[in-house]
Structure 1
Amino acid sequence: MNTGNTIIQKILTQMNVQQIKTNMKMKNVIITSFILALVLSSCADKAQAPAPAAPLLPVLAIQNSDAVTDAEYPASIQGTVDVEIRPQVSGNLDRVLVDEGAYVNKGQTLFKINERPFREQLNNALASLHASEAALINAQLEVDKLTPLVQNKVVSDYQLKTAKASQKIAAANIEQARAMVASARINLGYTNVTAPVSGYIGRLPKKQGSLVSATDIEPLTKLSDVHEVFVYFSLGETDFIKFKTQYAGNTLGDKIKKLPPVTLILADNNAYAQSGKIDMVDGQFDKNTGAITLRATFPNANGTLRSGNTGKIRLGINHDDAILVPQSATIEMQDKVFVYTLNKGNKVNKMPITIIGKSGTNYLIGEGVKSGDQIVLSGIDKLQEGQVIQPQKSTSEVAQIINKK
């Protein structure tokens, strides 16, 4: 009996397991069918979604035009007169009558050296002069006394000749004494150290009470006349040849007269308010640097510029039939500059360009594009090679603004 029950239980258990397996297979079929339906639905949606429209971007046809590019050259600034103030005589510096950085006028006393030794030298020279004058009078009296005696043959003419020789010696002594007086006066005047020109005082290394001498290595100060300033800059041989060929004139002097004004860029990258004029070209190239020096003169009535300032000279260089591309139409990647040109089928092509200058907000192009090529003006940061766009032609007014010089 027990054996029969056991067999029945085994049969029932096998039936349950088989039913469970059947149920699992049905569930898997249902899940797979559901996933497949979702995939097919998604693909159908994608197939039905419209392709994105080509972007509408402005395009400009490049044309040759005249342009002016700016070239900048390092420059140094000097006053029209930069002079060292040095003592001409030795002595103690009694007074310093100016302050560092002060503006002084021509002839104004700057320093006072102790004058007492030089005044005594002048007095001594004057005394010698007076003694010489007295000796000349005495010699003249001797000549006047002997002249009638010789005429009457009372004394020999030898004595008269000796008296006249003494008279000439006395006259020569007077000339010598007068020279000594003049020299003493000059040395006395040197005790007042005055400004040879109007300008600005530099540093004052010597203070009151210092012993100064004409042989001192260091000057008393430096004085700069900066009502106008000289700005010196250099051009290499190639730049100088271009500089000469683009201006009319038979000689270099004629070319200089026809040069346009130049601009001075200060150390803060701002332009100096007034323009300058190139008025000198050095006579020869520096054999060490291979460059030649030019000088431009700038007015400086307000004293804004000082000797020792630095800056840059900006020269305008004319270019005929140049190709200009707006800077905003370029993109830089890995030290190269590119533009997007428009090909057949309105496809864009990323084209490298060579920049040889800058004119306002435009680049002057040497290689990469030519007249007649069309370039994309904006939206280039999102473009890709070969992408199709809808070109929007720039109007003539827009093109003139973009290509303005």
Structure 2
Amino acid sequence: MKYLIIFAIAGLSFSCVSHKQEEENHSSKLSVISLREDSVTLYTEFPARIEGKVNVNIRPQVEGYIQKIFIEEGAYVKAGQPLFKIDDRQYIEQVNTAKANLNAALAALKNAQLEVDKYTLLSGNNVTSDFQLKAAQAQYETAQANVEQQRAALEAANINFGFTLIKSPVDGFIGRIPKRIGSLVSASDMQALTTLSDISEVYAYFSMSEKDFLRFNTRYEGKDLADKLLKVKDVSLKLADDSQYPYSGKIQMINGEFDTNTGAISVRAMFQNPNHLLRTGNTGRIILPYIENKAIQIPVLATLDIQDKIFVVRLNQENKAERTAITIDAKQGDYYILRAGLKAGDRIVSKDVETIKEGSIIQPE
């Protein structure tokens, strides 16, 4: 009986050792990392369009034929520089007529004053009635009003004459000039004479989806949106050729409402443009940075995509593989930024996860 028990114990021991050796033989040595929280700068890109800080449509204020064009398309002009000259002959005549009318009105006023003086003297000597004096005074007031009217007409004529020389209101670049010398233009024309862009500073307009806006709004502290904008880091601009614009910009404004057609909200950033590299109509991509102080990064190589879900292989306390679904906040280079599904301290296989079976034992390298 003793020999039987001894053989049984020996057999059990051999079985346990064999099972342990079998588990060891079926375990895999793989690269394993322990997740931790780090401070990470995240970048979000948005398509953007560029506009000069000042874009002015140059339009005629009076009707007439273009007599001179002083500038070329694409030229840089200074404020006050002549751009176009409209035939001014009819406006010179209007000024001369207004001057003559004013002189006539002044003469009539002088004559009315003489009448008032005359009837004032006669009325004082009881030679004439007060009615005649009052009539003379009324005539004087009418003449005085006419003088003011003619002065206003002369001022208007001078203004119209001044409008025949069209000058640049700001410094900037001239756009296309669709009109030519001899073209008849007027203030009612739908088409502008040209467009003038002040691009010493430019605006970059881009749109945020409702999801991006809500995330943006929760990332920054502040009593209101204006207060939060003060805490937003400077943004950068990637140009159409993927080169980096050398100057950083600042978000200045977020529109007050979402576009019901696109479901997006408009945002404006301003950039200095001292070398005039950017022009109205340029496109690019705004790069918006954000520092996440408790970010957990997951290597893309450590993930597996299955039916629109992302999985990693997590190791439990027994080093057994557990396929775990995770939610991603963003992708940054070769890493995903974790939103949910894991926590700091969890261990995951860092690569070659496709062939790992659920429950298999992993030996960390």
- 1:337-348 to structure 2, matched below 5 A, reads none
Equivalences, count:
336
Q: Following the alignment from structure 1 to structure 2, what is the Cα–Cα distance between the partners of residues 281 and 362?
A: 30
> Which has more radius of gyration?
1
2:206/2:266 contact within 8 Å kept: yes
- Matched residue SS, 1:241: helix
Q: Following the alignment from structure 1 to structure 2, what is the Cα–Cα distance between the partners of residues 136 and 352?
A: 96
Matched, 1:237 2:227: no
Q: Give the aligned partner of residue 262 of structure 1.
A: 235
Q: What CA deviation, in whole Å up to 9, does each residue of 1:8-50 have, x standing for no partner?
A: xxxxxxxxxxxxxxxxxxxxxxxxxxxxxxxxxxxxxxxxxxx
Q: Give the aligned partner of residue 5 of structure 1.
A: none
Structure 2: give runs of 5+ residues left out of the alignment. Answer: 1-26
2:67/2:86 contact within 8 Å kept: yes
- Matched residue SS, 2:258: coil
Q: Give the aligned partner of residue 292 of structure 1.
A: 265
Q: Give the aligned partner of residue 62 of structure 2.
A: 89
2:253/2:267 contact within 8 Å kept: yes
Q: Following the alignment from structure 2 to structure 1, what is the Cα–Cα distance between the partners of residues 253 and 281?
A: 19
Q: Following the alignment from structure 2 to structure 1, what is the Cα–Cα distance between the partners of residues 326 and 67?
A: 70
- Matched residue SS, 1:228: strand
Matched, 1:104 2:77: yes
Q: Following the alignment from structure 1 to structure 2, what is the Cα–Cα distance between the partners of residues 345 and 239?
A: 40
Structure 1: give runs of 5+ residues left out of the alignment. Answer: 1-53, 393-405
Q: How much does 1:210 deviate?
A: 0.6
Matched, 1:373 2:347: yes
| Structure number with higher helix proportion | 1
1:68/1:319 contact within 8 Å kept: yes
For structure 1, which segment, 175-184 or 192-201, has the greater mean C-alpha deviation from structure 2 after superposition?
Answer: 192-201
Q: How much does 1:96 deviate?
A: 0.8
- Matched residue SS, 1:321: strand
Matched, 1:170 2:143: yes
- Matched residue SS, 1:216: coil
| CA pair 157-343 structure 1, distance change in 2 beyond 3 A | closer
| TM-score, normalization by structure 2 | 0.80
For structure 1, which segment, 54-63 or 354-363, has the greater mean C-alpha deviation from structure 2 after superposition?
Answer: 54-63
Q: Give the aligned partner of residue 316 of structure 1.
A: 289
Q: How much does 1:330 deviate?
A: 6.4
2:48/2:283 contact within 8 Å kept: yes
Given candidates 200, 204, 209, the residue that maps to 2:177 is: 204
For structure 1, which segment, 63-72 or 213-222, has the greater mean C-alpha deviation from structure 2 after superposition?
Answer: 63-72
Matched, 1:180 2:148: no
Q: Following the alignment from structure 1 to structure 2, what is the Cα–Cα distance between the partners of residues 147 and 344?
A: 119
Q: How much does 1:132 deviate?
A: 0.7
- 1:136-151 to structure 2, matched below 5 A, reads 136-151=109-124
Matched, 1:271 2:244: yes
> Letter of the aligned partner of 1:233 in structure 2?
F
> Letter of the aligned partner of 2:250 in structure 1?
K
Q: Following the alignment from structure 2 to structure 1, what is the Cα–Cα distance between the partners of residues 137 and 282?
A: 68
Question: What RMSD over aligned residues (CA atoms) do the two structures have, in Å?
Answer: 3.1
